């Protein structure tokens, strides 16, 4: 229902919960993998067993635990996390959402759609703009020429005809060619060029287009002196209903590309003019972008406020939609529309890019960062027959989600085809604020704040399942500020947690140099949360968490946290962290697997063990795990092997800490991890 970073797969967390909580009271339970998988097609009820997730993030644990009939205690320091999880749990009639969307369209639709009208170049009929393509305009500080900061002039792939749409760098004509990698000639001005060749923009710098000048400019130096680059529209992807219905072969199912004409430029100018006239009446955040790990690039490119990330047509139409939403009287209904609006922002900004080979827009968070685009793409922000990013599609996404909540189902592969299995609908979960109310009549206790101190009794939780921050991998507060500054405008008068201008960072568990937090701070704060989890966990309960990282220091930090909070690792398993199609994994040297760690409370008595025998056990366990993955068609990379070996180190070492001995000396966690890297070469 809303973007959250590094959201884990529901199927994985459902399996974790089944293994952690199912027992002989569950019919047919035998703790075998094939039996476990069988429960994915059953309506399982774990009869109110209590699950704690002290760092809930996107709420995967919450959703899966409620689905299995558990009671849930969950919280997060981040208000954006709290709000999106709250709305995932809250109930609403999908029909009410549909009627309200229809009302919005009746009252606002025509004045929003006018700014996305264009003319089809094939038939001359009115068409719908899906995406507007812009380039940033630099200038030469030596000869003052304007320079289009285009990486290349390949626009998009025509998958139907196996050809390419390209842009002429001389006259800006858009035409088709057989292969954008080869020399081609413009159909309008006869300019010869290779569309995929890099021309003016070269990463951190650009070169003057005048061959007699050739001045090279650093982007950061230019924006520091002159501010953010202005943007120029150069292409439009459109959808023509008339051509689609008449099966025009020149278009791709009614979709095509065109250079903007005077009408298109006038439409944009009209939007800018109206925005300048009414901007003060629109709910648009006027908040400065804070300095941070992931905001530095945006600041270096001249972006000063979060509103700078949008062009004026976007701000005009988004502001109108949001203003309408905030006038809804029904608060539950309003909040669902606020959620949809917030989620649509990820596509409707000038950091979005275009996937030229697949023909769709990619959102601002295609990576866990703010990465300014030299060729940003502006989506139709309200409603479109084709393409991604329209506000209406995100309302429909919530409608679909709430229909699923009322009529849940699972798709299961039966050996030949996917079978859709329906389950009985459960009552709508009830959210409460206090533990006493959870036991009486509640289903989920949601908290926004630190989980260092929980107002629940000792040993009152059956299992702790969580996905803690991965050291410094994802800067949650920095990224979520993008949504928070908009959400705050609608929610600050109802919820105190939205009163601050930005997401609070004081208690955030992270490694972030701009917050003055390093390894020690990460260990100290996470240990507090894990120690509190230890206090509230039942004597025979388990803590299960996921983790991965490329740096040994991060593994050392997580091992130290487990040990200092009174746990030891009883088992570890590698599991895919995200879907195979994830943009964070595709063609990147990233870790594919999360390590799932199962922990129990440490007893006072620990048997001593030699470091030599522990290293041998680690090597044997890692080899067996890697061979098992390969046997099942997986090919773990070197960084995955690294994660698996260190994961097994945490497991075997923690069972005997602090009595791990090497030549009569105790082996510290840091010494163990440094030493274990010697095993990498042989695996």
DSSP characters for 229-254?
A: PEEEEEEEEEE-HHHHHTT-TTSBTT
* Residue among 542, 616, 453 nearest 21 (CA): 542
pLDDT of residue 577: 66
pLDDT of residue 582: 47
Question: Would you mind telling me the total number of residues written for the chain in this entry?
Answer: 683
Residues 244-293 pLDDT 10s? 999 998 899 999 999 999 999 999 999 999 999 999 999 999 999 999 99
Burial classification of residue 448, based on how many CB atoms lie within 10 Å of its CB (0-12 exposed, 13-18 middle, 19 or more buried): buried
Give 422's Cβ-side CA count (13 Å radius): 6
| Token pair 């960084």: residue | 639
pLDDT of residue 587: 41
Centre a 10 Å sphere on the Cβ of residue 51 and count the other Cβ atoms it contains: 27
Q: Does residue 43 contact residue 18 with C-beta atoms inside 8 Å?
A: no
**Above pLDDT 70, what percent of the chain?**
97
| Token pair 């809303």: residue | 2
- Residue 506 makes CB contacts below 8 A (sequence gap 6+) with none
| CA 660 to the chain's CA centroid | 40
Residues 97-133 pLDDT 10s? 999 999 999 999 999 999 999 999 999 999 999 999 9
pLDDT of residue 40: 82
Q: Does residue 81 contact residue 58 with C-beta atoms inside 8 Å?
A: yes
Distance CA 496, CA 578 (A): 34
pLDDT higher at 9 or 377: 377
| CA 361 to the chain's CA centroid | 15
DSSP string, 438-450: HHHT-SEEEEES-
Residues 627-660 pLDDT 10s? 998 998 888 888 888 888 888 888 999 999 999 9
Residues 346-359 pLDDT 10s? 999 999 999 999 89
Residues 129-169 pLDDT 10s? 999 999 999 999 999 999 999 889 999 999 888 999 999 99
Structure tokens at 2: 């809303």
Residues 518-550 pLDDT 10s? 999 999 999 999 999 999 999 999 999 999 888
Distance CA 47, CA 25 (A): 10
pLDDT of residue 586: 39
3-state secondary structure of 29: coil
Centre a 10 Å sphere on the Cβ of residue 437 and count the other Cβ atoms it contains: 13
Distance CA 502, CA 510 (A): 17
Distance CA 322, CA 283 (A): 7
* Residue among 407, 396, 384, 386 nearest 102 (CA): 396
Spell out the domains of the chain, with CATH numbers in brackets.
Answer: 10-92+427-603 (3.40.50.150)
Structure tokens at 187: 């159909």
Distance CA 683, CA 615 (A): 13
Q: Does residue 169 contact residue 193 with C-beta atoms inside 8 Å?
A: yes
Cis check: omega of the bond before 428, within 30 degrees of 0:
no
* Residue among 369, 438, 423 nearest 71 (CA): 438
pLDDT of residue 245: 94
Structure tokens at 254: 């009614």
pLDDT of residue 552: 86
Q: Check pLDDT > 50 for residue 584.
A: no
- Residue 92 makes CB contacts below 8 A (sequence gap 6+) with 332, 333, 336, 402
Mark residue 449 as left, alpha or beta (left: phi above 0; alpha: psi -120 to 50; beta: remaining).
left
Distance CA 537, CA 532 (A): 9
Distance CA 608, CA 237 (A): 68
Exposure class string for 417-429: b at 16+ Cβ within 10 A, else e: eeeeeeeeeeeeb
CA angle 541, 547, 548 (to 5 degrees): 160
- Residue 508 makes CB contacts below 8 A (sequence gap 6+) with 77, 78, 469, 476, 477, 515, 517
- Could you tell me where the beta strands, DSSP code E, fall in 395-441? 409-413, 418-422, 431-432
Q: Check pLDDT > 70 for residue 583.
A: no
Beta bridge partners of 409: 422
- Strands 192-193, 431-432: pairing is unpaired
pLDDT higher at 581 or 41: 41
Q: What is residue 180's DSSP assignment? A: T
Q: What is the pTM of this model?
A: 0.93
Centre a 10 Å sphere on the Cβ of residue 459 and count the other Cβ atoms it contains: 15
What spatial distance separates the first Cα and last Cα of the chain, rounded to whole Å? 41
Lowest mean pLDDT among 9-13, 573-577, 619-623, 663-667: 573-577
Structure tokens at 345: 């922002």
**How high is the mean pLDDT of the chain?**
92
Rounded to the nearest 10 degrees, what angle do helices 79-89 and 60-67 cross at? Answer: 20
Q: How confident is the model at residue 591 (pLDDT cuts 50, 70, 90)?
A: low
Q: Tell me the three-class secondary structure of 58-108, residue by residue.
A: CCHHHHHHHHCCCEEEEEECCHHHHHHHHHHHCCCCHHHHHHHHHHHHHHH
Q: Check pLDDT > 80 for residue 618.
A: yes
Distance CA 500, CA 77 (A): 13
Structure tokens at 679: 């095993």
Structure tokens at 83: 């709000």
Q: Does residue 232 contact residue 134 with C-beta atoms inside 8 Å?
A: yes
Distance CA 249, CA 245 (A): 11
Beta bridge partners of 109: none
Q: Check pLDDT > 90 for residue 681.
A: no
Structure tokens at 106: 């009746």
pLDDT of residue 516: 95
pLDDT of residue 159: 86
pLDDT of residue 578: 59
Residues 416-455 pLDDT 10s? 898 898 888 878 999 999 999 999 999 999 999 999 999 9
Q: Does residue 494 contact residue 42 with C-beta atoms inside 8 Å?
A: no
Lowest mean pLDDT among 34-43, 185-194, 530-539: 34-43
3-state secondary structure of 36: helix
């Amino acid at each position: 229902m809303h973007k959250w970073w590094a959201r884990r797969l529901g199927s994985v967390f459902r399996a974790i919960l089944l293994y952690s909580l199912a027992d002989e009271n569950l019919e047919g339970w035998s703790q075998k993998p094939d039996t476990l998988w069988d429960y994915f097609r059953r309506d399982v009820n774990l009869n109110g067993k209590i699950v704690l997730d002290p760092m809930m993030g996107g709420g995967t644990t919450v959703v899966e635990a409620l689905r299995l009939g558990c009671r849930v205690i969950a919280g997060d320091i981040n208000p954006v996390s709290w709000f999106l999880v709250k709305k995932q749990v809250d109930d609403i009639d999908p029909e009410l959402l549909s009627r309200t969307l229809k009302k919005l369209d009746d009252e606002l639709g025509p004045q929003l759609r006018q700014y996305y009208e264009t003319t089809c170049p094939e038939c001359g009929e009115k068409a719908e703009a899906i995406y507007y393509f812009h380039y940033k305009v630099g200038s030469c500080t030596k000869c003052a020429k304007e320079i289009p900061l285009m990486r290349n002039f390949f626009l998009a792939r025509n998958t139907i005809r196996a050809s390419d749409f390209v842009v002429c760098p001389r006259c800006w004509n858009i035409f088709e060619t057989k292969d954008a990698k080869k020399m081609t000639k413009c159909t309008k001005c006869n300019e010869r060029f290779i569309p995929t060749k890099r021309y003016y923009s070269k990463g951190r710098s650009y070169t003057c287009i005048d061959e007699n000048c050739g001045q090279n400019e650093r982007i950061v130096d230019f924006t520091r002196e002159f501010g953010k680059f202005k943007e120029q529209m150069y292409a439009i992807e459109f959808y023509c209903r008339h051509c689609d219905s008449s099966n025009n072969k020149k278009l791709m199912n009614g979709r095509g590309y065109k250079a903007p004409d005077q009408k298109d430029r006038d439409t944009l100018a009209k939007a800018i003019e109206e925005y300048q006239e009414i901007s003060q009446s629109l709910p648009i955040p006027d908040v400065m972008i804070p300095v941070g790990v992931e905001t530095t690039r945006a600041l270096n490119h001249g972006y000063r406020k979060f509103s700078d990330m949008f062009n004026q047509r976007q701000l005009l139409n988004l502001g109108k939609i949001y203003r309408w939403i905030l006038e809804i009287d029904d608060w539950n209904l309003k909040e669902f529309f606020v959620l949809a609006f917030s989620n649509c922002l990820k596509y409707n900004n000038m950091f979005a890019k275009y996937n030229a080979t697949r023909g769709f827009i990619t959102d601002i968070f295609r990576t866990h960062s703010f990465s300014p685009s030299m060729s940003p793409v502006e989506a139709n922000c309200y409603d479109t027959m084709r393409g991604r990013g329209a506000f209406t599609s995100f309302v429909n996404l919530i409608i679909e989600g709430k229909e699923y909540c009322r009529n849940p189902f699972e798709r299961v592969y039966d050996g030949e085809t996917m079978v859709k299995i329906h389950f009985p609908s459960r009552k709508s979960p009830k959210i409460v604020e206090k533990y006493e109310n959870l036991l009486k009549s509640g289903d989920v206790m949601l908290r926004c704040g630190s989980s260092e101190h929980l107002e629940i009794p000792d040993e009152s939780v059956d299992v702790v399942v969580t996905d803690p921050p991965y050291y410094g991998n994802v800067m949650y507060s920095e990224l979520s500020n993008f949504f928070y500054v908009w959400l705050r405008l609608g929610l600050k008068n109802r919820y105190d947690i939205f009163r601050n201008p930005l997401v609070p960072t004081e208690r955030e568990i992270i490694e972030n140099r701009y917050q003055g937090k390093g390894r020690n701070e990460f260990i100290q704060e996470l240990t507090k949360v894990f120690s509190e989890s230890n206090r509230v966990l039942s004597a025979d309960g388990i803590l299960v968490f996921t983790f991965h990282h490329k740096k040994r220091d991060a593994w050392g930090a997580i091992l130290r946290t487990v040990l200092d909070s009174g746990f030891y690792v009883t088992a570890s398993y590698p599991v895919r962290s995200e879907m195979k199609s994830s943009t964070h994994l595709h063609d990147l040297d990233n870790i594919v697997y999360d390590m799932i760690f199962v922990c129990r409370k440490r007893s006072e008595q620990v048997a001593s063990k030699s470091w030599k025998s522990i290293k041998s056990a680690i090597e044997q366990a890692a080899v067996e795990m890697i061979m098992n993955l390969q046997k099942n068609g997986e090919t773990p990379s070197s960084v995955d092997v690294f994660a698996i070996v260190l994961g097994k180190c945490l497991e075997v070492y923690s069972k005997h800490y602090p009595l791990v001995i090497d030549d009569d000396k105790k082996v510290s966690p840091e010494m163990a991890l440094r030493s274990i890297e010697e095993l990498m070469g042989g695996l």
